[in-house]
Every structure is written in C-alpha cells, then in structure tokens.
C-alpha cells in the first residue's frame, strides 16, 4: 500500500496562497484524471469534466482549510462534480453511453495484452456500477483507507467496510478478481 | 486478474497525459471568474429576481381581495389566487436560494448529492406549478391588474360565465401552442428546448430528481 503521507503531500507552507494552491493542485492533479476516467467514456467528455472540476476547485479554493488533507478535499469536489455532471448527461441521453473502442487505448505508449484486457475489464466493471459504487471502487483501488473513504463519501467507516466487501464480491463474479493477502482496505 | 493489476492500471491513468490543462492559468484567474464558475451561486442568485417579482404580485393580490372583502365574488377569488401565486413565487424562490447556498461542493459526496437532488426536485415542482398555473390564472391576472390600475371589475362584463369559456379556450390554445413549439424545436434540432417542454408537461424532471434522491439515500442506508 502506498504511504498516505506521501499521497497527501507535505507541501511547503512558506509559499504564498496562490503558489501553495497551484503547487498542491499540480501534485494531486492525478486525482482529477482518475475521477474523469472513472466517469467519462470519451476523451472529449473527460476534457469537459476536467475543466468543470478545475473551475469548481478554483471557486471553492477560498474556503479550503490548509489543516485538512488536500487529497480528501479534492476528491470530494471532483466526485461531487462528476456525479452531478454524469447524472445530467445520462438524463439528457436517457441511455448509458457505450464504451468507445478508443477508450481502452488512451495510453499513448503500447501496453501488454494482459494490461489491455484488464483495463477493458475494469472499464466494463465501472460501467456496470451506479455513480456511488463507482466512486467507492475508485477510492478502494486508489488505496484510500476506510476512514478516508468514509470522510470523502460521508459514510461511517463500518458502512464503508460493508460496501467494499459487497463490491469485492461483485468484482469476483464479474472480473474473477483475486485479492492479494492482507488487503484490508 | 488481481487487485494489484487493477491498481497498476489506475496508477497508469493517474500518470497519463500532460499536466492539467491550463492549471496555472486557471488558478490565477480573477475573483470574478471564480464567482461566475460557481454554479450553485448562480442558481441562488437567479432566485432573487423571482422573489422580487413575487412581492408585488402578492401585494397586488392581497390589496384586491382585501378591497373586495365585504362582497366576496369572482374578483375576490382572483385576488386570493394572485396572492397565493405571489406567495408561491416567494416561497419557492427563498427555499431554492437557501438550499442552493447550503451546497458545498467540498462537503462529503452523499451530503452534497442529496442536497442537489432535493433542489432539483423542488425546482421541478416549482417549474410545473409556476408555469402550468398560468393556464388557469391568466384571466384572473388580467382582471386583477385592470382593477388595480383603473378600479374597474372586468367580471361585470362577463357575469354569464363566458370568462370560464375564455379561460378554457386560452388553456387549449396555450397547450396547442406549446406542442407546436415542441414540434418545431425537435424538427430544428433544438433538443434541449423540446425536452424542457416535455419535462414541463409530464413532470419528468420531478420524477428524475426523486429517483436520484432515492438512489443516494438507498446507497447511504444499505
């Protein structure tokens, strides 16, 4: 498991507010990419969602409390924007957007067959889930602790544990998922 | 397939692409841009106009029915209807404004999504009530306005019930007009407008919002 302190990042506090914020955002930009990938099927939709998340992040930046973990704060905004936007898009289309062939190939560099297959399978698994369980799967795969997931989602840690166990059972069935020993996230 | 492989894939996604597009430029934009990009703020601000319109509507209706209190009749009823309409405009406006201002995109996901679904449901009900009620309200509104401006009761000219026929005819003409606009919107590729009219006529928006609210509550509870 990745070290949480490394992910939440010890960003120097002697920087001015805009510098500090830009630095924190650069450091945790991957969160926005992961959320956009989780909720959008096409590159164009991902770019739109990324812009929308960034706009909301900037709008909310005045209210950010530096004593709170930046990654948790950013995850909350990104997921809230993504879920809201996905609902609006689905409502307009009234159908689920089919998986684009190009989607599993968004990596510029070639990937091996097993990875390509795994990525397509993960894509399909995400598509099967409702927006809240997608968020849960993303956070689980991103190795966030139960407490942190509870904090992001607004659930109790025990409720998160129950839901993740249910999600794993589902993935065992749909992906034939095998968990490494001692994986208690 | 194992969890580690899926985590590696997620890490690849995290590392893909360039830096966030225009990230530094975005972080340095003016405060005006920040405010403009805050959708909930915009939603809350839009209700100020509704409240400002609702106040004179309520007061006009109240003055008419208060004036007609000794001899209650159609004009009195129109005043009451206008008063209630104004009160609804204000109540919906204040309610949505308060709820919108309480939305914090940085709050936990369940809390924010539940509040957003509540707002959408109330806004859907509001659209239906405030919009559709004009099919019934348009004659009372004209009568109330003319009485307020000139002191003349139009119902005196139509004591035989012809106002009711005119009201119904107006409703039929209005609904047909709406249907024609919907048809034109569909034919000219204005899908959103057509869908908006569909939603208004069928209450689809309210049902969608209610389903979203159910979904978030079910997820939180199970």
**Domains in chain B: boundaries:** 31-221
A3: closest CA of chain B, how far (Å) = 14
User: In this complex, do B1 and A178 lie within 8 Å of one another by their Cβ atoms?
Assistant: yes
Number of domains in chain A: 1
Average pLDDT, chain B: 81
DSSP designation for A97: P
Q: Residue A178: beta bridge partners?
A: B2
> Mind listing the pLDDT tens digit for each residue in A75-110?
999 999 999 876 554 444 433 344 444 444 444 444
The more confidently predicted of residues B176 and A78 is: A78
Residue A182 in domain: no
Q: Do A133 and B24 touch (CB under 8 A)?
A: no
d(CA A23, CA A11): 8
CB atoms within 10 A of CB A129: 18
In a mutational test of the B interface, the residue from A40, A59, A150, A176 whose CB has the highest number of chain B CBs within 10 Å is A59
Give residue B159's pLDDT band: very low, low, confident or very high (50, 70, 90). low
In a domain, A180, yes or no: no
The whole domain housing A20 covers: 4-175
Answer whether residue B213 shows pLDDT above 70: yes
Nearest to A56 among B13, B105, B220 (CB): B105
Question: Across the interface, do B219 and A133 touch by the CB < 8 Å criterion?
Answer: yes
Please state the pTM of the whole predicted model.
0.74
pLDDT in tens, B83-96: 999 999 999 999 98
- Closest residue in chain B to residue A185, using alpha carbons only: B3
Q: Which of residues 135-164 of A touch B (CB under 8 A)?
A: 135, 138, 141-143, 151-155, 159, 163
Residue A184, domain member (yes or no): no
- Residue A117 is assigned to a structural domain of this protein: yes
Q: Is residue A149 part of a domain?
A: yes
d(CA B79, CA B61): 4
A78 neighbors A32 (Cβ within 8 angstroms): yes
pLDDT of residue B39: 58
| Residue range B65-120, pLDDT digits in tens | 999 888 778 889 999 999 999 999 999 999 988 888 888 889 999 999 998 888 88
The DSSP code for A101 is G
Q: What is the mean pLDDT of each run of 10 residues along chain A (185 residues)?
A: 44 62 84 92 86 85 86 95 70 41 44 79 87 94 94 95 92 75 54
Does A129 lie at the interface with B, CB-CB under 8 angstroms? Answer: no
CB–CB contact B23 A29 (8 Å): yes
- Domain membership of residue A118 (yes or no) is yes
For residue A142, give the nearest of B10, B104, B113 by CB distance.
Answer: B10
> By CB neighbour count within 10 A (0-12 exposed, 13-18 middle, 19+ buried), where does B27 fall?
buried
* Residue in the structure block whose two tokens are 């806004």: B123
**To the nearest whole angstrom, how far is the Cα of B33 from the nearest Cα of chain A?**
8
Q: What pLDDT was estimated at residue B85?
A: 95
């Amino acid at each position: 498991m990745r070290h949480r302190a490394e992910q939440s990042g010890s960003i120097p506090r002697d920087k001015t507010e805009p510098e500090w914020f830009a630095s924190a955002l650069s450091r945790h930009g991957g969160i926005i990419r992961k959320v956009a990938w989780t909720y959008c099927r096409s590159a164009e939709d991902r770019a739109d969602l990324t812009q929308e998340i960034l706009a909301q992040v900037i709008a909310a930046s005045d209210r950010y409390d530096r004593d709170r973990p930046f990654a948790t704060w950013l995850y909350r905004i990104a997921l809230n924007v993504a879920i809201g936007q996905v609902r609006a898009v689905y409502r307009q289309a009234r159908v689920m957007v089919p998986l684009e062939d190009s989607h599993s190939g968004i990596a510029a560099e070639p990937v091996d067959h097993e990875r390509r297959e795994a990525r397509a399978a993960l894509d399909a698994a995400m598509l099967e889930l409702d927006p809240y369980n997608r968020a849960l799967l993303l956070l689980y795969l991103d190795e966030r602790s139960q407490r942190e997931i509870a904090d992001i989602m607004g659930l109790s840690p025990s409720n998160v544990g129950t839901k993740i166990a249910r999600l794993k059972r589902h993935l065992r069935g749909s992906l034939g998922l095998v968990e490494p020993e001692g994986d208690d996230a | 397939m194992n969890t580690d492989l899926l985590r590696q894939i997620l890490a690849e996604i995290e590392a893909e692409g360039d830096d966030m597009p225009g990230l530094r430029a975005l972080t340095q934009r003016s405060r005006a841009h920040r405010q403009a990009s805050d959708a909930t703020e915009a939603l809350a601000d839009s209700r100020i106009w509704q409240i400002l319109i609702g106040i004179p509507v309520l007061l006009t209706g109240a003055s008419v029915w208060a004036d007609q209190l000794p001899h209650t009749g159609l004009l009195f009823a129109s005043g009451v209807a206008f008063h209630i309409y104004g009160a609804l405009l204000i109540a919906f406006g204040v309610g949505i404004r308060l709820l919108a201002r309480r939305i914090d995109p940085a709050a936990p996901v369940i809390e924010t999504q539940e509040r957003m679904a509540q707002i959408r449901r109330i806004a859907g009900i509001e659209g239906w009530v405030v919009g559709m009620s004009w099919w019934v309200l348009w004659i009372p509104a004209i009568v109330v306005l003319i009485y307020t401006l000139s002191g003349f009761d139009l119902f005196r000219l139509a004591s035989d019930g012809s106002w009711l026929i005119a009201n119904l005819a107006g409703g039929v003409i209005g609904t047909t007009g709406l249907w024609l606009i919907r048809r034109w919107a569909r034919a000219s590729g204005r899908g959103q407008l057509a869908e908006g009219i569909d939603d208004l006529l069928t209450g689809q928006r309210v049902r969608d919002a209610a389903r979203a609210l159910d979904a978030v509550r079910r997820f939180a509870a199970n």
